[in-house]
Amino acid sequence: MKMNNTNMARKLEVLFEDNHLIAVNKLSGDIVQGDKTGDKPLNEIVASYLKQKYDKPGDAFIGTIHRIDRPVTGVVLFAKTSKALARMNAQFQDKQVQKTYWAVVKNHPPKEVEEITHHLLRNRQKNKSFAYAHKYKDSKESSLKYEVLKKLDRYFLLEITPYTGRHHQIRVQLSTIGSSIKGDVKYGFDRTNKDASIHLHARNIQFIHPVTKELIEITAPTPDEVIWNACS
């Protein structure tokens, strides 16, 4: 079952919704859950959308299943029931959910297709991860597969399949192999994007529906922007 229809409501692009789950296309700058900035997070925006759509007298239940970084765009999945939340959390823990990302980079990576592994150390004070070839105390193994999908005028489009879910994993691993993501100055790109985004997009997610047991595939359209438009 594939879903990629969009439904705009108060700047919220809904990619999939049923009685148990809702998936939206996150904008750059959105935070998925509340943090110290105090900005309204995406989970609260989705809850408000559901409250208004269904005219609920109380607050709508929204469970955060996974997160993507603030400057990243793309599909984010939320649970509408506690049962769906528990079952989807279990799928993520058991690595039964497949996610793919698109990334725009300036430098061609070492190969056309490659699986890479690093050991990541997270610096919470700097909100940054560092990648190493060898294991260190407190480091976490981080693996992904990349494939070059398209050559653009000045950039390359990569498809990324992460095998682990580490902090800033795709960003730091691509930077380590010499292919920093466009706009990602934290990880080696030479200048920011004007809107503070980076060219990393959560393109697709596949999983078994927690209740119906159907295979669900959700694809998020890329932002309406010159370089992203050239990727299609």
Residues annotated as catalytic are 69
Q: What is the DSSP letter of 130?
A: E
107 contacts 180 by C-beta, under 8 angstroms: yes
148 φ, ψ (degrees, to nearest 5): -75, 115
Burial 12-22 (b: 16+ CB within 10 A, else e): bbbbbbeebbb
Helix (H, G, I), strand (E, B) or coil at 118: strand
Other beta carbons less than 10 A from residue 24's beta carbon:
26
- Count CB atoms within 10 A of the CB of residue 197: 22
